Chains A and B, each alone.
Chain A
Amino acid sequence: MATQQQIIDLTYATLQDKADIVKAEQDGVILDTFHYGIINQMRLNNRITYADIKSYDSSLSLASSYLPEIKGLGKMVDITSLTAYNSPILERFDISMCTKLTNIYAQNCAKLESIGTTVNLVNLVNLDLSRTAFKDSENIVLPVTLKTLRMSHCGTVTSIMNASGRNLTELQLQNNAISYVGNVNTWGEMTKCELQNNTLDVASVDRVLSGLRNTYSQNQVLTLLNLSGNVAPTGGNTNADYLYLDTQGVTVIID
């Protein structure tokens, strides 16, 4: 394997397809940091340099690929969007250094368990990890910029680090193992909130209902709140917050 120094200012004239890149890797010319799928997507063709890679500031689209791992994202710090959905053997990638990312679409990746940490992704707007094997939720710290979070049907997601969700418009966390939800009073822009089929306790169910009642009273943008498959709120379908949202025409589903 070549060193990072060898990758800098590298010129590889025929680096255009998988065979060329594999050959280059075998020659020790390119770090095996980068998968050929990434190199192809970048379309840099006859010149691959560390600077080229680092400054690649476009969308990286690797949807429906057969990569087990997307390697090298730590050196592609300027990418703005990563698409990797429908990739059946993808197990991990690490976006921790990609602070310009606005979108991560990695849904329907049955083996995906980890994506690094989002703590420094201060521009992130859309994150979709639904229907994956995601287990690393302690590293999913939601930036305040986030508008849509989809992590449904992951099964083992137990919590979400939600310091402030004031720009969240859509939350899909159904079919997981989430037992606690907090900071609901910051969800002022929420239009669709799906938390069904988790393990929320009655305090969390009550908190979501009362929090979204409060925000609804201010801007009336909520259209759907689904809490079924947890426990019933205090008072069941006579709960005052549930009845308030009901009379406002908001579709609210509870046990």
Chain B
Amino acid sequence: MSNKKLEKKYKLVWNSDLEILFYSEKEGSISVGGNSYVFDADTKEEIDAKILELGLIVIDPN
């Protein structure tokens, strides 16, 4: 079980293929379960840095 709680404003979820599954700029917490990877931050710059650091991929603009 890998239930993870993200509470900072900027939230990022991705899978083992480095594909971004979800990105949110909404306030409030979310819970993320399953075999995914998560990162949350207080600024968008930190999110962008993480995306660059890992080479995360946007798979769908929708």
Interface residues of A (CB under 8 A from B): 107, 130-131, 150, 152-153, 172, 174, 196-197, 223-224, 226, 228-229, 236-237, 242-243, 245-255
Total contacts A-B at CB 8 Å? 67
| Count of interface residues, chain B, beta-carbon cutoff 8 Å | 21
With contact pairs A237-B3, A243-B3 given, residues A131 and B33 touching in the complex (Cβ less than 8 Å): no
Nearest-neighbor residue (CB-CB) of A170 within chain B: B60
A224/B21 in contact, CB under 8 A: yes
Q: How far is the CA of A251 from the CA of B17 in the complex (A)?
A: 13
B62/A152 in contact, CB under 8 A: yes
> Most chain-A CB neighbours within 10 Å: which of B2, B26, B36?
B36
B21/A254 in contact, CB under 8 A: no
With contact pairs A237-B3, A247-B1 given, residues A242 and B33 touching in the complex (Cβ less than 8 Å): yes
A249/B35 in contact, CB under 8 A: yes
Q: How far is the CA of A152 from the CA of B60 in the complex (A)?
A: 11
Nearest-neighbor residue (CB-CB) of A236 within chain B: B31
Chain B residues contacting A152 (CB-CB under 8 Å) are 62
| B56 CB, min distance to chain A CBs, angstroms | 15
| A115 CB, min distance to chain B CBs, angstroms | 17
B1/A243 in contact, CB under 8 A: yes
With contact pairs A172-B62, A237-B3 given, residues A246 and B26 touching in the complex (Cβ less than 8 Å): no
B5/A237 in contact, CB under 8 A: yes
| B19 CB, min distance to chain A CBs, angstroms | 10
